Structure 1
Amino acid sequence: MTDPRRVLFVCARNDVRSPMAEALLRHADPEDFSAFSAGLEASEIDPRTVQALEHINVDAGGLRSKSLEDFEGQAFDYVITLCDKSSEEAARMPFSGEVIVWSFEDPTTSEKHDPFRHTLQEIGDRIKMFVTVKTRAVSQ
Protein backbone atom coordinates (compact mmCIF):
# COMPACT_ATOMS: atom_id res chain seq x y z
CA MET A 1 0.00 0.00 0.00
CA THR A 2 1.34 3.42 -0.91
CA ASP A 3 1.15 6.47 1.30
CA PRO A 4 -1.84 8.73 0.69
CA ARG A 5 -1.15 11.62 -1.66
CA ARG A 6 -1.07 14.97 0.10
CA VAL A 7 -3.49 17.60 -1.20
CA LEU A 8 -3.53 21.23 -0.06
CA PHE A 9 -6.60 23.35 -0.90
CA VAL A 10 -5.87 27.08 -0.89
CA CYS A 11 -8.22 30.05 -0.85
CA ALA A 12 -7.91 33.66 0.23
CA ARG A 13 -9.07 33.33 3.86
CA ASN A 14 -9.47 29.59 4.53
CA ASP A 15 -12.95 30.21 5.94
CA VAL A 16 -15.40 28.63 3.45
CA ARG A 17 -14.30 27.03 0.18
CA SER A 18 -10.96 25.49 1.17
CA PRO A 19 -12.21 23.93 4.44
CA MET A 20 -15.22 22.58 2.51
CA ALA A 21 -12.85 20.96 0.01
CA GLU A 22 -10.65 19.57 2.79
CA ALA A 23 -13.62 17.96 4.56
CA LEU A 24 -15.13 16.65 1.30
CA LEU A 25 -11.90 14.98 0.15
CA ARG A 26 -11.33 13.44 3.59
CA HIS A 27 -14.87 12.07 3.39
CA ALA A 28 -14.62 10.90 -0.24
CA ASP A 29 -11.30 9.02 -0.19
CA PRO A 30 -9.29 9.01 3.05
CA GLU A 31 -7.25 6.00 1.93
CA ASP A 32 -5.77 7.56 -1.20
CA PHE A 33 -5.54 11.22 -0.13
CA SER A 34 -4.58 13.27 2.93
CA ALA A 35 -6.41 16.59 2.69
CA PHE A 36 -5.34 19.93 4.15
CA SER A 37 -6.42 23.52 3.61
CA ALA A 38 -4.90 26.95 4.08
CA GLY A 39 -5.54 30.57 3.26
CA LEU A 40 -3.32 33.34 2.06
CA GLU A 41 -4.18 34.53 5.55
CA ALA A 42 -5.90 32.68 8.38
CA SER A 43 -9.41 33.70 9.38
CA GLU A 44 -12.22 31.90 11.22
CA ILE A 45 -14.24 29.04 9.75
CA ASP A 46 -17.63 30.48 8.75
CA PRO A 47 -20.32 28.68 10.80
CA ARG A 48 -22.40 28.27 7.61
CA THR A 49 -19.55 26.14 6.21
CA VAL A 50 -19.91 23.69 9.10
CA GLN A 51 -23.71 23.72 8.79
CA ALA A 52 -23.55 22.93 5.05
CA LEU A 53 -21.11 20.04 5.63
CA GLU A 54 -23.14 18.61 8.51
CA HIS A 55 -26.30 18.84 6.39
CA ILE A 56 -24.80 16.24 4.01
CA ASN A 57 -23.30 14.19 6.87
CA VAL A 58 -19.68 15.16 6.22
CA ASP A 59 -17.59 15.45 9.38
CA ALA A 60 -16.46 19.04 9.94
CA GLY A 61 -14.65 18.17 13.17
CA GLY A 62 -11.13 19.47 13.44
CA LEU A 63 -11.54 22.10 10.76
CA ARG A 64 -9.72 25.30 11.64
CA SER A 65 -8.47 28.20 9.59
CA LYS A 66 -4.75 28.06 8.78
CA SER A 67 -2.41 30.20 6.71
CA LEU A 68 0.05 29.06 4.06
CA GLU A 69 2.86 29.79 6.50
CA ASP A 70 1.57 26.91 8.69
CA PHE A 71 2.65 24.51 5.92
CA GLU A 72 5.98 26.10 5.03
CA GLY A 73 8.56 23.50 4.04
CA GLN A 74 6.00 20.69 3.64
CA ALA A 75 5.63 18.82 0.37
CA PHE A 76 2.27 18.25 -1.34
CA ASP A 77 1.45 16.13 -4.35
CA TYR A 78 -1.27 18.59 -5.35
CA VAL A 79 -2.00 22.19 -4.45
CA ILE A 80 -5.49 23.16 -5.58
CA THR A 81 -6.47 26.82 -5.56
CA LEU A 82 -10.18 27.56 -5.21
CA CYS A 83 -10.46 31.29 -5.91
CA ASP A 84 -8.93 33.79 -8.30
CA LYS A 85 -6.97 35.56 -5.56
CA SER A 86 -5.26 32.36 -4.43
CA SER A 87 -4.47 31.25 -8.00
CA GLU A 88 -2.60 34.54 -8.50
CA GLU A 89 -0.50 33.61 -5.47
CA ALA A 90 0.20 30.06 -6.69
CA ALA A 91 3.81 31.04 -7.40
CA ARG A 92 4.26 31.33 -3.62
CA MET A 93 3.55 27.59 -3.37
CA PRO A 94 6.72 25.90 -4.65
CA PHE A 95 6.24 22.83 -2.47
CA SER A 96 3.92 21.04 -4.84
CA GLY A 97 4.12 18.36 -7.47
CA GLU A 98 1.19 19.84 -9.37
CA VAL A 99 -0.78 23.09 -8.99
CA ILE A 100 -4.40 22.85 -10.11
CA VAL A 101 -6.51 25.99 -10.50
CA TRP A 102 -10.22 25.80 -9.73
CA SER A 103 -12.40 28.84 -9.17
CA PHE A 104 -15.65 28.88 -7.21
CA GLU A 105 -17.88 31.80 -6.38
CA ASP A 106 -17.61 33.02 -2.78
CA PRO A 107 -20.89 32.00 -1.12
CA THR A 108 -20.58 34.85 1.40
CA THR A 109 -21.20 37.35 -1.42
CA SER A 110 -23.32 35.19 -3.74
CA GLU A 111 -26.81 36.17 -4.84
CA LYS A 112 -27.81 32.53 -5.38
CA HIS A 113 -30.44 30.78 -3.27
CA ASP A 114 -28.75 28.78 -0.47
CA PRO A 115 -25.25 29.73 -1.66
CA PHE A 116 -23.30 27.61 0.85
CA ARG A 117 -25.02 24.39 -0.20
CA HIS A 118 -24.65 25.38 -3.85
CA THR A 119 -20.90 25.95 -3.46
CA LEU A 120 -20.56 22.74 -1.45
CA GLN A 121 -22.26 20.81 -4.27
CA GLU A 122 -19.99 22.36 -6.93
CA ILE A 123 -16.83 21.62 -4.94
CA GLY A 124 -18.08 18.11 -4.15
CA ASP A 125 -18.70 17.35 -7.82
CA ARG A 126 -15.21 18.57 -8.75
CA ILE A 127 -13.61 16.51 -5.97
CA LYS A 128 -15.41 13.36 -7.14
CA MET A 129 -13.98 13.94 -10.61
CA PHE A 130 -10.50 14.65 -9.17
CA VAL A 131 -10.56 11.42 -7.11
CA THR A 132 -11.76 9.38 -10.10
CA VAL A 133 -9.07 10.75 -12.44
CA LYS A 134 -6.18 10.64 -9.96
CA THR A 135 -6.93 7.17 -8.56
CA ARG A 136 -7.48 5.71 -12.04
CA ALA A 137 -4.14 7.13 -13.19
CA VAL A 138 -2.33 5.30 -10.38
CA SER A 139 -4.11 1.97 -10.83
CA GLN A 140 -3.31 1.68 -14.54
Structure 2
Amino acid sequence: MKNLKHLFFLLAAICVVSLSSCKDDDDDVSPNVSLLTNGEWTGSAVFINGDDLTAEFEAEYGIDLTRYTSKFERDGKYVDKYAGTTMVEGAWEFENGERIIIFDKGTSTEYTVVISKLDEDELFYMQGAAEFRFIKKK
Protein backbone atom coordinates (compact mmCIF):
# COMPACT_ATOMS: atom_id res chain seq x y z
CA MET A 1 0.00 0.00 0.00
CA LYS A 2 2.88 2.35 0.85
CA ASN A 3 4.44 1.68 -2.59
CA LEU A 4 1.10 2.40 -4.28
CA LYS A 5 0.89 5.73 -2.44
CA HIS A 6 4.43 6.66 -3.57
CA LEU A 7 3.60 5.64 -7.14
CA PHE A 8 0.49 7.84 -7.08
CA PHE A 9 2.46 10.89 -5.89
CA LEU A 10 5.20 10.21 -8.43
CA LEU A 11 2.68 10.07 -11.28
CA ALA A 12 0.95 13.22 -9.99
CA ALA A 13 4.29 15.06 -9.89
CA ILE A 14 5.13 13.95 -13.44
CA CYS A 15 1.74 15.21 -14.66
CA VAL A 16 2.21 18.59 -12.98
CA VAL A 17 5.70 19.03 -14.44
CA SER A 18 4.57 17.89 -17.90
CA LEU A 19 1.58 20.22 -18.01
CA SER A 20 3.44 23.25 -16.69
CA SER A 21 6.19 22.86 -19.28
CA CYS A 22 3.80 22.96 -22.25
CA LYS A 23 3.91 26.21 -24.17
CA ASP A 24 0.90 27.95 -25.60
CA ASP A 25 0.30 26.84 -29.19
CA ASP A 26 -1.18 30.26 -30.03
CA ASP A 27 2.36 31.53 -30.59
CA ASP A 28 2.96 29.07 -33.43
CA VAL A 29 3.22 30.82 -36.78
CA SER A 30 4.19 29.65 -40.23
CA PRO A 31 7.78 29.99 -41.45
CA ASN A 32 6.72 32.72 -43.92
CA VAL A 33 5.09 34.78 -41.17
CA SER A 34 8.27 34.42 -39.11
CA LEU A 35 10.45 35.48 -42.04
CA LEU A 36 8.27 38.46 -42.94
CA THR A 37 7.84 39.75 -39.38
CA ASN A 38 11.37 39.20 -38.11
CA GLY A 39 12.78 42.70 -38.56
CA GLU A 40 12.49 45.72 -40.78
CA TRP A 41 12.83 45.64 -44.58
CA THR A 42 14.71 48.37 -46.48
CA GLY A 43 14.09 49.11 -50.16
CA SER A 44 16.95 48.18 -52.46
CA ALA A 45 15.80 48.00 -56.09
CA VAL A 46 12.99 48.09 -58.65
CA PHE A 47 13.06 45.70 -61.60
CA ILE A 48 10.70 45.81 -64.58
CA ASN A 49 10.80 42.97 -67.11
CA GLY A 50 14.09 41.81 -65.60
CA ASP A 51 15.80 45.20 -65.97
CA ASP A 52 17.08 47.16 -62.98
CA LEU A 53 15.26 50.48 -63.26
CA THR A 54 16.01 51.71 -59.74
CA ALA A 55 17.76 54.89 -60.90
CA GLU A 56 14.93 55.74 -63.30
CA PHE A 57 12.31 55.05 -60.61
CA GLU A 58 14.13 57.28 -58.13
CA ALA A 59 14.52 60.06 -60.72
CA GLU A 60 10.86 59.94 -61.78
CA TYR A 61 9.33 59.71 -58.31
CA GLY A 62 12.02 61.44 -56.24
CA ILE A 63 12.22 58.48 -53.87
CA ASP A 64 15.52 57.08 -52.61
CA LEU A 65 14.57 53.43 -52.08
CA THR A 66 17.28 52.93 -49.47
CA ARG A 67 15.38 55.37 -47.22
CA TYR A 68 12.10 53.43 -47.57
CA THR A 69 11.33 50.79 -44.92
CA SER A 70 8.51 48.36 -44.23
CA LYS A 71 7.81 46.64 -40.92
CA PHE A 72 5.31 43.78 -40.65
CA GLU A 73 3.94 42.67 -37.28
CA ARG A 74 2.60 39.22 -36.37
CA ASP A 75 -0.71 40.77 -35.33
CA GLY A 76 -1.37 41.72 -38.97
CA LYS A 77 -0.30 45.37 -38.84
CA TYR A 78 2.33 47.05 -40.99
CA VAL A 79 4.08 50.42 -41.13
CA ASP A 80 5.85 51.92 -44.15
CA LYS A 81 8.28 54.76 -43.50
CA TYR A 82 10.33 57.09 -45.65
CA ALA A 83 13.37 58.70 -44.05
CA GLY A 84 11.99 57.71 -40.64
CA THR A 85 8.60 59.38 -41.17
CA THR A 86 5.53 57.14 -41.19
CA MET A 87 3.92 57.23 -44.62
CA VAL A 88 1.35 54.42 -44.34
CA GLU A 89 -0.01 52.23 -41.55
CA GLY A 90 -2.51 49.47 -42.02
CA ALA A 91 -3.30 45.77 -41.99
CA TRP A 92 -1.82 42.92 -43.99
CA GLU A 93 -2.62 39.25 -44.44
CA PHE A 94 -1.40 36.32 -46.48
CA GLU A 95 -3.52 34.63 -49.11
CA ASN A 96 -3.10 31.85 -51.68
CA GLY A 97 -0.72 29.66 -49.72
CA GLU A 98 1.17 32.68 -48.37
CA ARG A 99 2.27 33.74 -51.86
CA ILE A 100 0.14 36.89 -51.89
CA ILE A 101 0.02 39.73 -49.38
CA ILE A 102 -3.20 41.72 -49.22
CA PHE A 103 -2.81 45.20 -47.79
CA ASP A 104 -5.75 46.97 -46.14
CA LYS A 105 -8.31 44.35 -47.22
CA GLY A 106 -11.85 45.65 -47.60
CA THR A 107 -10.83 49.31 -47.76
CA SER A 108 -10.66 51.76 -50.64
CA THR A 109 -6.86 51.49 -50.52
CA GLU A 110 -6.71 47.67 -50.74
CA TYR A 111 -3.98 46.26 -52.96
CA THR A 112 -2.14 42.99 -53.38
CA VAL A 113 1.42 41.96 -54.13
CA VAL A 114 2.78 38.58 -55.20
CA ILE A 115 5.86 37.39 -53.33
CA SER A 116 8.60 36.25 -55.69
CA LYS A 117 11.24 35.71 -52.98
CA LEU A 118 11.17 35.63 -49.20
CA ASP A 119 14.05 34.45 -47.04
CA GLU A 120 15.96 35.66 -43.98
CA ASP A 121 17.67 38.46 -45.92
CA GLU A 122 15.48 39.36 -48.91
CA LEU A 123 11.87 40.13 -49.76
CA PHE A 124 10.93 40.55 -53.42
CA TYR A 125 7.37 41.14 -54.53
CA MET A 126 5.57 41.92 -57.75
CA GLN A 127 3.17 44.83 -57.92
CA GLY A 128 1.86 45.12 -61.44
CA ALA A 129 4.83 44.82 -63.80
CA ALA A 130 7.34 46.02 -61.19
CA GLU A 131 9.31 43.82 -58.84
CA PHE A 132 10.19 45.69 -55.65
CA ARG A 133 13.19 44.31 -53.79
CA PHE A 134 13.89 44.75 -50.10
CA ILE A 135 16.72 43.61 -47.86
CA LYS A 136 16.64 42.97 -44.13
CA LYS A 137 17.69 46.07 -42.24
CA LYS A 138 20.75 45.33 -40.12
> TM over 0.5: same fold?
no
Pick the TM interval, shorter chain: under 0.3
* Bigger fraction of residues in helix: 1
Structure showing greater relative contact order (alpha-carbon pairs closer than 8 Å, 6 or more residues apart):
1
TM-score, length basis structure 1: 0.26
Q: Which has the larger radius of gyration?
A: 2
TM-score, length basis structure 2: 0.27
